[in-house]
Amino acid sequence: MSHLDEGRLLELRDDARSGDVDAWRHLDGCHSCREALEDLRGRETTIGVVLETLDAPVDLESARAAVRRRVMEHSASAAGATSIARAPSRAAQRGLSRAAGILLVAAGGAAAALPGSPVRSWISAVVSSRGADPAILDEPPPTAATVTEAEVAGVRLGATAGALRIVLRSLAPGVDLRVRWVPGAEAAVFAPLGSRFATGEGWVEADLAPGAVRVELPAGSQPITLEVDGIPYLRRGAAGLELPGPVASRAGEEIVFRRPPS
């Protein structure tokens, strides 16, 4: 059975008297689509409540005056005299803009709930009054993944029918290369920012920037070759698993290679 896409579900949510007879008939017999429609309705209600809270009137002049006063007081205490209040630093501006961005994300999907909400224009006015770049509002807020792995880039390779080959170049001596067996059929390579990746059917190549590297390989019986700077580090084939590379440790599902100093 084919299901209704989100566009048709949104039309049904917004117009309960829609004349789409086929869609309503499908909903009568499809529990999955009914749940999806109820989820859309619930999100609409939640977003509406959030926006009503965020759209409360704000006294911008008082807020600006309070910020200027605090900047003046801080400048006076730091320099021993009050002259010209310094503009907030770029870092402070970015922090303020990020906070505004988080508010916007909290109201994610608002266009579907309350079109034309003044929340974004209010936030833009507040940020602009402090000298920040309103364009920063378009940047997504940091997530746990981007904070904890801010210096890591990576690439994933989907399932392939044949052998898998991973080639790494410029692994620095003494740096850990962690290889982990994972469920499923995908392979992945994660390396420091600045690394360059290329992929194709059944292969991944990476020119590495300095730093630790992590490789995820699919557990199972698929033939795999891992090569580092022209040297085989790991092979899995009909004869089983071979580890000709410099193994530093091996525990459970993880193997750590460490290239010796030149």
Question: Which residues are CB-contacts of 83 (< 8 A; sequence separation ≥ 6)?
Answer: 75
pLDDT of residue 256: 97
Q: Quick one: pLDDT at residue 125? A: 53
Q: Is 133 exposed, middle or buried (0-12, 13-18, 19+ CB in 10 A)?
A: middle
Specify the pLDDT at position 227.
97
Res 132: pLDDT: 46
How many other C-beta atoms can be found within 10 angstroms of the C-beta atom of residue 23? 16
Q: Distance between CA atoms of 123 and 101, rounded to whole angstroms?
A: 9
pLDDT of residue 235: 96
Helix (H, G, I), strand (E, B) or coil at 145: helix
Q: In angstroms, rounded to a whole number, what is the distance separating the alpha carbons of residues 203 and 167? A: 8
Q: Kindly list the averaged pLDDT for each block of 10 residues, start to end, along the chain of length 262.
A: 77 73 82 82 76 68 76 60 43 52 48 46 49 48 41 84 93 94 92 93 94 93 94 94 95 93 77
CB-based burial, 159-183: b 16+ in 10 Å, e otherwise: ebeeebbbbbeebeeeeebbbeeee
What's residue 39's pLDDT?
83
Bridge partners (DSSP) of residue 206 are: 168, 197
Listed residue (241, 201, 242, 236) closest to 222, CA to CA? 236
Nearest to 218 by CA among 189, 198, 246, 244: 189
Total-model pTM: 0.45
240 strand-pairing partners: 237
| pLDDT score recorded for residue 253 | 93
